Amino acid sequence: MTESSTRLAAYLDQRRRLGEPGLVPAELEPGEILRLLRARAASGPAAVERAERARRRGRYDERPSGPARDGADTGKAVADASEAGRVGSADYDALRAAAMACTRCRLAEGRKTVVFSDGNPAARLMVVGEAPGAREDATGLPFVGQAGRLLDLMLASVALSRRDSVYICNVLKCRPPGNRNPQPDEIESCAPLLKRQIELVAPEVLLAVGSFAAQWLTTSRQALGKLRGKVYSYQGVPLVVTYHPAALLRNSGWSRLAWDDLQLLRQVMDGR
């Protein structure tokens, strides 16, 4: 047995023991998920582009360190791509530069840094969270506080890490004051950046953590407890949703459900 089939067997056994009638509580049929994954694996250009980007960056390290880098090319990219219409066709560097210089909503006034991403842009899995908090705003990296440490543990429980197998970003790139919820107009202003970011990273699987990411990616208004437990499709990319780690820190009763979500994620990633 391979490692993934052993893990799957343990997972199925666990669900059976819990009396789960549907072993794969998926909105997409497993066959459909497999078809999507195979189609993406066969879609050469995205894979080639990912590999090329990873090579250019000396593999993963794109850790941001404050505002856009100096230099004539970057300056031009900012000027070009910060126009909303241009974001939709920006390449990765221009998109990041546009985000770093973005003043499209009020959050630009209070931020210290723009938090664009962390992890490996060539990863198969893209995690989308809600918005930066104080530590993320100070460091320019998503999920570096307490919730981030839990997220890393959650990912590690299914053999994933931001160092090499995950790309992480948020719905909002700037910190809402006092860590309040993102406002609808802020989400709308930031959405073209996220949309293009997903297109360019071209992940094989998406994981939404928390209701803001889950609702945006599924275009549903349902609460997370109703959304979780299924596999969705975002523009043809299989999407799993789970609780935000900050919510899990407040409510440990959801941990078992989050564990199930991670097993579902692993299944999808293993093409089962």
The contact set with ligand URA (CB under 6 A) reads 129-133, 136, 142-143, 147-148, 170, 210, 246
Q: How far is the CB of 116 from ligand URA (least distance, A)?
A: 11
Q: How far is the CB of 162 from ligand URA (least distance, A)?
A: 11
Q: How far is the CB of 215 from ligand URA (least distance, A)?
A: 13
Smaller CB separation from ligand URA, 26 or 107: 107
Widest Cα–Cα separation across the chain: 62
Smaller CB separation from ligand URA, 36 or 186: 186
The Cα–Cα gap between 6 and 116 comes to 36
CA distances from 38 to 31, 62, 115, 238, 250 (A): 10, 28, 32, 12, 38
Smaller CB separation from ligand URA, 170 or 267: 170
Smaller CB separation from ligand URA, 64 or 210: 210
Do the Cβ atoms of 192 and 84 come closer than 8 Å?
yes
Q: How far is the CB of 159 from ligand URA (least distance, A)?
A: 22
Smaller CB separation from ligand URA, 94 or 168: 168
Q: How far is the CB of 190 from ligand URA (least distance, A)?
A: 13
Q: How far is the CB of 222 from ligand URA (least distance, A)?
A: 19
Residue 261 makes CB contacts below 8 A (sequence gap 6+) with: 228, 229, 240, 241, 242, 243
Smaller CB separation from ligand URA, 130 or 261: 130
**Closest CA relative to residue 42, chosen from 271, 212, 245, 227:** 271
